[in-house]
Chains A and B, each alone.
Chain A
Amino acid sequence: MEQKEYKLNMLHTTMGMGPMVDQHWAELRTAKQRGEKVAWAAGPGFILPYAMKMKCHFMAGYSSYCAGRRCGDQVIEAAESGGDLVDTCSYHKLHTGMFYAIKKGIPIKEEVVLPMPDLMISARLCPEQSHYGEALHQRFGVRVIGIDHPIPRKKEDFPKIEEFVTREHKEILIPVLEEICGKPFDYDELRRILSVLKETALIRNECWEFFKKKPTPWTLWDYGVSLAPVIYMMGKPEGVTYYQKLKAELAERAAKNIPALSPDGEKYRLMWDGWLPWAFLGRIIRKLVRYGALPICGRYPWEFFPHPEAFDPEAEDIIYDLVKQWYSGQEILWHDGPEGAVELNGKLIEEYSIDGIIFFTSKTCRLWMGQQDMMTAIERKYGVPGIIIEGDMVDSRMISDAQIDTRLQALFERIDGIRKRQPF
């Protein structure tokens, strides 16, 4: 039988994201020269400094930018020359490596150099984010504020955690922001940002609907490169424009029946559970395309980010409302834990007609622990098989082509086997 040749149909709109992202980081790089205050954030805290008109970095956003600019290995090497070890979180090392390179005059690309922040907000959503704050504080003298974001183990725990996290924001973070900026916290600006974010996210959700179409007009990778306007570039009207254009392009594709994968769409619809492999997006999708497979949805881009569509920017206690979305509101952090992950993955499998799951586990990050058990639980309940690929988001030493190739082959053979057994 002749092997079908698959080819990706790239979207036009997503090409516009690169310049937007470049501009964001360029503005951050030069913020100090304009006398602006700079904050860094790991976790969801970046919304608050935005409300104080600070320029803000976002840990994962910077890491994906660094990886996308092919600077990851270079900066990680700098970090390891300063004492970091190979098993340390790659996102962590991108930051310590960048500072260490500046301190020691190690050459790295200028576009990934950032100024020393006035404040680092370290959300202990993943405990390693607090270690990251510690390292920046102890080694480079960065002022750090910690916000604990417990990952709930039971839904009954939501109220007490919400109350605690709300208090941390009000009693710890906001007073420090007021001190650094020399003005009262700007609740009106926060509401404005959240309104724009909500508008952006509502259009984003309409775009997600196109993932349900068979064949799909776009891929998870397309959404992955479109994350910035709903995350660290939130509150900008350009974000709304970007998603309007994206939605229009997807609608056009849907109307004309143009699939993301030519000639006639995907053979396998996959879910991707784990970080997106920022430095290897092209390398991995080329492997998938060879089999006629596409990543359609995933826990990380779906649930690790704010769901502002669910809250009211005019709510009386806007901080509580903001915190609530992580817990009882949208259950975002519940889905970060293994119990909630099984629940969410099941929902995504059904909504997006998923054939198989790739659990991408990072050798330098333990946030996705429990994937072996999730894989078994999901297969038993939904009959959808999965594989685990071990790798990293950034560090090319952790990626093994042979391992990925053999596991992908096993996954597609299993899906074929299941299909053969299914009655028509």
Chain B
Amino acid sequence: MDEILNRFYEVAADPYKSVEGWKRKTGKKVIGVFPMWIPEEIIHAADILPAVIWRGNEPVTEGHAHLPPFNCGLTRSFVDDAVRGKLDFMDGMVFYRMCLQAVVLRFIIERHAQPQPTYLEHLYLPPVFDRSPCLKEFLIEELETLQRGVEGLSGKEVTVDSLNRSIKIYNENRGLLRRLYQLRRAKPGLLKARDILVMVHSSMLMPKEEHSELLKGILGDLEKKEPPTLVKGAKRVIVSGCLCQTPSLDLLGLIEDSGMAIIDDDLYIGSRYFAIDTDVNGNPIEALADRYMKDEPVCPTKGEWQKNWGDYLIDMVKRNNADGVISLLVKYCPPHLCWYPAVREKLAEAGIPHILIEVEHEVTSLEPVKTRLASFVEIMTGRA
């Protein structure tokens, strides 16, 4: 089990090395995709590895010549990596307008990434405001644009069969990750939150087939294992936010060390990534469009107006018998910034204890956070 876990850590801790290493070993191509809603299956079906763009592990330096300090950590870190040549192994990059900060990325990469990726795409994935036919048809057109683009890069046709095969591979991986989360709910403390996060994150960086095999191995071991007894009185919390980037592992550790057990999460590098499957049918592009149009998990970047993110979280709290919610808001993330008051109001109305912690790419001073977390535990204890 430790060996598999170490492998996940190895991949997630240094994606530059692991993704490039995979490319060198296999001789295949890699496309960096911007997080959340680009259907990786289309890229996979062209026999290319889709690697979800990650927030680097170094402070931003040269990137500040291209983006202001009040951009989010992911965009600044990504641009910094690209202009310093750290992403030179990527054969392609795919962006979309998930937020305003993503609009300019292609413009910067075209001018400054060394070397230039062979394939650069900016998709106009529409919001899902009311799921009108015109939105869905435009979305399908965009997915077909991606399909043509990756076919051009790989020289391989993406057929209905190959795409359905990729969809099945992705669905299987999602199912295994959901099994992992069910296990965490059933046996809190079995794995640390940082272990769980690394297991999900590595899925975004390595071939799904390989990741699923590793997951099957570790799940078998975990299902037999008994969790350590939780600290008496440990509070059960849900962690929410970080819509497109990794939260700090140290911060997750601090939450657990402060007398809380993270029993579920609403993070992108977490349950949001694998929450929903794609149907397998005769029109896989349409099936991928349907997955995008679904209203769960409620995503603030997609223009989801029919459902309230706060209600979605309240359901999660009830399902997990949780004591409270911790929102991790990435500094300068407009979708989360704009939604936050509505979520806060909903949780308050429902009487669910809640705390907001702003997180940044640069080092967050953990000591003040520790004090706030201690107060949060006291609040939850007072309500019990």
Interface residues of A (CB under 8 A from B): 82-85, 87-89, 92, 96, 124, 126-128, 130-135, 137-139, 144-146, 148, 150-151, 153, 157, 160-161, 164, 167-168, 171-172, 337-339, 361, 363, 365-367, 369-370, 372-373, 377, 388, 390
Whether A83 and B340, one on each chain, are in contact in the complex, defined by CB atoms closer than 8 angstroms, is yes
Q: CA–CA, A135 to B340, complex, Å? A: 9
Binds A, one of B13-21, B84-92, B217-225, B301-309: B301-309
Contacts of B67 in A (CB 8 A): 369, 372
Instruction: Using known A-B contacts A127-B301, A146-B129, A164-B138, determine if residue A373 contacts B103 with beta carbons closer than 8 Å.
Output: no
Whether A83 and B337, one on each chain, are in contact in the complex, defined by CB atoms closer than 8 angstroms, is no
Whether A124 and B108, one on each chain, are in contact in the complex, defined by CB atoms closer than 8 angstroms, is no
Write the chain B residue with the least CB distance to A83: B341
Q: CA–CA, A172 to B129, complex, Å? A: 10
What's the minimum C-beta distance from A291 to chain B, rounded to whole angstroms? 25
Q: Which of B100, B108, B308, B340 sits near A126, CB closer than 8 Å? A: B100
Q: CA–CA, A123 to B303, complex, Å? A: 11
Whether A133 and B124, one on each chain, are in contact in the complex, defined by CB atoms closer than 8 angstroms, is no
Interface residues of B in 60-74 (CB under 8 A from A): 65-68, 70-71
What's the minimum C-beta distance from A39 to chain B, rounded to whole angstroms? 17
Contacts of B104 in A (CB 8 A): 338, 369-370
Which 8 pairs show the lowest CB-CB distances between chains A and B? A83-B341, A131-B338, A146-B129, A167-B134, A369-B104, A338-B107, A370-B104, A366-B100
Contacts of A167 in B (CB 8 A): 134
* B339 touches A (CB below 8 Å): yes
Q: CA–CA, A214 to B104, complex, Å? A: 35
Contacts of A138 in B (CB 8 A): 305, 308, 310, 339, 342
Whether B134 and A135, one on each chain, are in contact in the complex, defined by CB atoms closer than 8 angstroms, is no
Binds A, one of B166-174, B244-252, B275-283, B328-336: B328-336
Whether B103 and A84, one on each chain, are in contact in the complex, defined by CB atoms closer than 8 angstroms, is no
Instruction: Using known A-B contacts A127-B301, A131-B338, A134-B339, determine if residue A337 contacts B129 with beta carbons closer than 8 Å.
Output: no
What's the minimum C-beta distance from A378 to chain B, rounded to whole angstroms? 13
Q: Which of A83, A144, A367 sits near B344, CB closer than 8 Å? A: A83
Interface residues of B in 123-153 (CB under 8 A from A): 124, 126-127, 129-130, 132-135, 138, 141
What's the minimum C-beta distance from B119 to chain A, rounded to whole angstroms? 14
Contacts of A130 in B (CB 8 A): 127, 129, 303
Whether B108 and A366, one on each chain, are in contact in the complex, defined by CB atoms closer than 8 angstroms, is no
Q: CA–CA, A61 to B332, complex, Å? A: 25
What's the minimum C-beta distance from A81 to chain B, rounded to whole angstroms? 10
Q: Which of B127, B130, B133 sits near A124, CB closer than 8 Å? A: B127
Write the chain B residue with the least CB distance to A133: B305
- 18 A-B contact pairs sorted by A residue (CB < 8 Å): A83-B340, A124-B127, A124-B303, A126-B100, A127-B334, A128-B334, A135-B338, A138-B308, A164-B138, A167-B134, A172-B129, A337-B103, A365-B100, A366-B99, A366-B101, A366-B332, A372-B67, A373-B112
Whether A367 and B100, one on each chain, are in contact in the complex, defined by CB atoms closer than 8 angstroms, is yes
* B319 touches A (CB below 8 Å): no
* B361 touches A (CB below 8 Å): no
Instruction: Using known A-B contacts A128-B338, A369-B101, determine if residue A134 contacts B66 with beta carbons closer than 8 Å.
Output: no
Q: How large is the interface on B (under 10, 10 to 19, 20 to 34, 35 or more residues)?
A: 35 or more
What's the minimum C-beta distance from B54 to chain A, rounded to whole angstroms? 21
Write the chain A residue with the least CB distance to B329: A85
Contacts of A151 in B (CB 8 A): 97, 103
| Seed contacts A83-B341, A366-B334, A369-B67; 13 additional CB < 8 Å A-B pairs | A83-B345, A84-B340, A85-B358, A126-B100, A127-B97, A127-B99, A130-B127, A131-B300, A146-B305, A160-B141, A171-B133, A172-B132, A377-B111
Q: CA–CA, A87 to B70, complex, Å? A: 9
Q: CA–CA, A145 to B108, complex, Å? A: 33
Contacts of B179 in A (CB 8 A): none
Contacts of B106 in A (CB 8 A): 153
What's the minimum C-beta distance from A393 to chain B, rounded to whole angstroms? 15
Interface centre among B98, B129, B138, B340 (most CB of A within 10 A): B129
Whether B303 and A146, one on each chain, are in contact in the complex, defined by CB atoms closer than 8 angstroms, is yes
Instruction: Using known A-B contacts A126-B100, A131-B300, A372-B65, determine if residue A84 contacts B341 with beta carbons closer than 8 Å.
Output: yes
Whether A131 and B334, one on each chain, are in contact in the complex, defined by CB atoms closer than 8 angstroms, is yes
Q: CA–CA, A388 to B106, complex, Å? A: 21
Q: Which of A82, A160, A369, A370 sits near B341, CB closer than 8 Å? A: A82
Q: CA–CA, A145 to B308, complex, Å? A: 16
Contacts of B127 in A (CB 8 A): 124, 130, 146, 148
* B122 touches A (CB below 8 Å): yes
Q: CA–CA, A338 to B66, complex, Å? A: 12
Instruction: Using known A-B contacts A148-B135, A363-B70, A369-B71, determine if residue A85 contacts B334 with beta carbons closer than 8 Å.
Output: no
Whether A87 and B338, one on each chain, are in contact in the complex, defined by CB atoms closer than 8 angstroms, is no
Whether B99 and A171, one on each chain, are in contact in the complex, defined by CB atoms closer than 8 angstroms, is no
Q: Which of A134, A168, A373 sits near B338, CB closer than 8 Å? A: A134
Contacts of A132 in B (CB 8 A): 338
Whether A373 and B111, one on each chain, are in contact in the complex, defined by CB atoms closer than 8 angstroms, is yes
Instruction: Using known A-B contacts A128-B100, A134-B338, determine if residue A172 contacts B70 with beta carbons closer than 8 Å.
Output: no
Q: Which of A137, A153, A373 sits near B122, CB closer than 8 Å? A: A153
Q: CA–CA, A405 to B303, complex, Å? A: 40
- Mask for B339-353, Cβ within 8 A of A = 1, else 0? 111101100000000
Q: CA–CA, A138 to B344, complex, Å? A: 12
Whether A370 and B305, one on each chain, are in contact in the complex, defined by CB atoms closer than 8 angstroms, is no
Contacts of B107 in A (CB 8 A): 337-339, 370, 373
Interface residues of B in 241-267 (CB under 8 A from A): none
Whether B345 and A139, one on each chain, are in contact in the complex, defined by CB atoms closer than 8 angstroms, is yes
Whether A369 and B335, one on each chain, are in contact in the complex, defined by CB atoms closer than 8 angstroms, is no
Contacts of B304 in A (CB 8 A): 134
Contacts of B308 in A (CB 8 A): 138
Whether B337 and A87, one on each chain, are in contact in the complex, defined by CB atoms closer than 8 angstroms, is yes
Q: CA–CA, A389 to B339, complex, Å? A: 28
Q: CA–CA, A283 to B310, complex, Å? A: 42
Whether B303 and A87, one on each chain, are in contact in the complex, defined by CB atoms closer than 8 angstroms, is no
Q: CA–CA, A305 to B97, complex, Å? A: 22
Contacts of A172 in B (CB 8 A): 129-130, 132, 134
Q: Which of B98, B305, B358 sits near A134, CB closer than 8 Å? A: B305
Q: Which of B97, B129, B338 sits near A92, CB closer than 8 Å? A: B338
Q: CA–CA, A139 to B342, complex, Å? A: 6
Instruction: Using known A-B contacts A127-B97, A131-B335, A366-B71, determine if residue A372 contacts B66 with beta carbons closer than 8 Å.
Output: yes
Q: CA–CA, A142 to B335, complex, Å? A: 19
Interface residues of B in 325-384 (CB under 8 A from A): 329, 331-332, 334-335, 337-342, 344-345, 358
